[in-house]
Every structure is written in C-alpha cells, then in structure tokens.
Amino acid sequence: MNAHEKQQGVVQAAQARAELYDTLAQLKDRLNYAQRVDDAVDDVKHRISEQKRRNPLAFAAGVAGVAVIAGVAVWTVASAVIRRFE
C-alpha cells in the first residue's frame, strides 16, 4: 500500500465517520420523545400566549368554553357514580 492509497483510505474513513455522526444525530432527534414532547408543549404555550395577546376576548371565550366542557364531563361522571351507589 503506497502513501496515496493510505491518504485515500483516511479520507474515506473521515467521510464515513461524518456520515455516521450525521445519521446518529438525526436518529437522536427522532427518537428523543421526551424532548419532542417538551418542544410540542413549548410550541403550544407560545401559540396560546400569542392568541391571548392578539385577541383576549376570543381567548377568554375559549377558556370559558373549556371550563364548561370540563364541568359537564365531571358532573356526568359524578352523577353516574352516585347512581351506581344508590
């Protein structure tokens, strides 16, 4: 093996190493579900705060609507539990 072939082998190994590191970084991003969930939660928080800033009346109506839906759901479950124990 001459010096040129050795140099070529070193260059090929460096390219393969770079591709491997790139692939590992992509897999890390895709498989890190905790980070993906954190990023999604941060995105939703940002969108909610932006909506609140741009249109506070619609935001208040949305919050009230969610509260009503949650209240109805709790009331329905509580009523079903009470009926079962009677």
At 4, which helix (H) or strand (E)? Answer: helix 3-31
Q: Cα–Cα distances in Å, from 6 out to 16, 33, 65, 71? A: 15, 42, 70, 73
pLDDT of residue 7: 87
All residue ranges of the chain with pLDDT < 70 are 1
In the prediction, which pLDDT does 43 show? Answer: 96
pLDDT recorded at residue 34: 86
